[in-house]
Amino acid sequence: MPDSLTPAADLSALPSAPPAETRAMRLHNFWSDYRQSWVAIGALIVFIMLLVGAFGAPYFVPQDPYDLANLDWLDAFLPPGTVGSGGYAHLLGTDNAGRDMLSAILYGLRTSFMIGISAGVFALAAGITVGLTAAYFGGRIEALLMRIVDLQLSMPAILLALVMVAMLGQGIPQIIFALVVAQYAYFARTTHGAASVERRKDYIEAARSTPLPTWRVMFKHLLPNVLPPLIVVATVQVASAISLEATLSFLGVGLPLTEPSLGSLISNGFKYIHAGRYWLSIYPGIFLMITVVAINLVGDQVRTVIDPRNSR
C-alpha cells in the first residue's frame, strides 16, 4: 500500500471513493448472484436452446412446414421415429397433412416467441406510460387512470383478449394488440407502485426545482429508477402472453394453421387424440409447458437477485 502518511494537508479530496464501477463489473456481480441456483441455470440453458431452436429453425429442420409443396398426404399420421417419403426420420411424427411435427413445433415456437415478446414489449411501453403519468401527476389523473387499470385487472385477461380478437379478427398484429390490451394493466400497476415511492424522493424534487421539463423528469429521472421490478414482470408477462396466445389459438380464434403457433398445433392435434395419435397434441403441449416454466424460473431468479431485500 502506498504510504499516505502526509500529515494534515488537504486530504478532503483524497480519492477514498472506490474505483469507478463499470457496467462489466455490475454484470459480473449479477451473474455471480444468478448462478447461485442450479435450477435457474438449467432454466436459462433450456430457454436459450428454445430460442436458438425457434429462430434457427429454418437452418436445420428437415422441412418447411409452411411450404405446401413439401407436404405429402402419404406421410400423414406417421408415428414418431418413422422414416417418411423424404428419406429422413420424423422424430416426433407427422400430422394429418403429413407435416413433420418437429419442424412444425419449432416454427410454431418461433411464432409464439415473436407474439409473446412483441406483446410484452408493447404492453410494457403502454403500462409504463400509464403508470408513470398516474404517479407523476397524482390527483384526478391518477384516480381515473388507476381505477381503469383496477377494473381491468379484476377481469380475466383471457376474456379481454377474446373480446378484442372477436372485434379485430385473426392475424398476428391483431393478436398482439389483443394481448397488449389484456396485459398492459399489470405493467401499469407495477410501474405506478414503484413510481409513487420514487416520486416522493428528493432527487425528483431537485430535478423539478432546477427546473427541468416534466417529460424529462418523468423519463430521465423517474423511469430508470422504476425499471428493475418491471423487467421481472416483463419476463413473467412474456410467458403468460405465450400461453394466452396458445389458448386463443386453441379456442380457434387465434392463428390459422397456415401460420401455426404452438396453440394452433395443439388444437389441430386435439381432434385426433382419441384415435391414438397422441403426438399431434402432446409434443407441442410439452414444448409450450417447458417454454413457460423456463421463462418463469428465469424471471423468478432475476427477481431474487435484484430484490434489494436480498442484497448484501
Binding interface with other proteins (CB under 8 A): 1, 4-5, 7-18, 20-21, 137-140, 201-203, 205-213, 216, 220-221, 224-225, 312
Helix H or strand E encompassing 167: helix 157-168
Q: 15 or 169, CB closer to other proteins?
A: 15
Q: 163 or 223, CB closer to other proteins?
A: 223
Minimal distance in Å, beta carbon 5 to other proteins?
6
Q: Which pairing describes strands 89-90 and 82-83: parallel, antiparallel, or unpaired? A: antiparallel
Minimal distance in Å, beta carbon 311 to other proteins?
10
Torsional sign, CA 105, 110, 111, 117: positive
Minimal distance in Å, beta carbon 85 to other proteins?
59
Q: Specify the 3-state DSSP secondary structure of 82.
A: strand
Q: 12 or 154, CB closer to other proteins?
A: 12
Minimal distance in Å, beta carbon 145 to other proteins?
14
For 86, phi then psi, to 5°, come to: -75, -10
3-state helix, strand, coil in the chain (%, to 5): 70, 0, 30
CA distances from 109 to 65, 91, 284 (A): 13, 17, 9
Which residues, in sequence order, are bridge partners of residue 89? 83
The closest alpha carbon to 218, from 192, 245, 199, belongs to: 199
Q: 22 or 258, CB closer to other proteins?
A: 22
Minimal distance in Å, beta carbon 6 to other proteins?
9
Q: 87 or 211, CB closer to other proteins?
A: 211
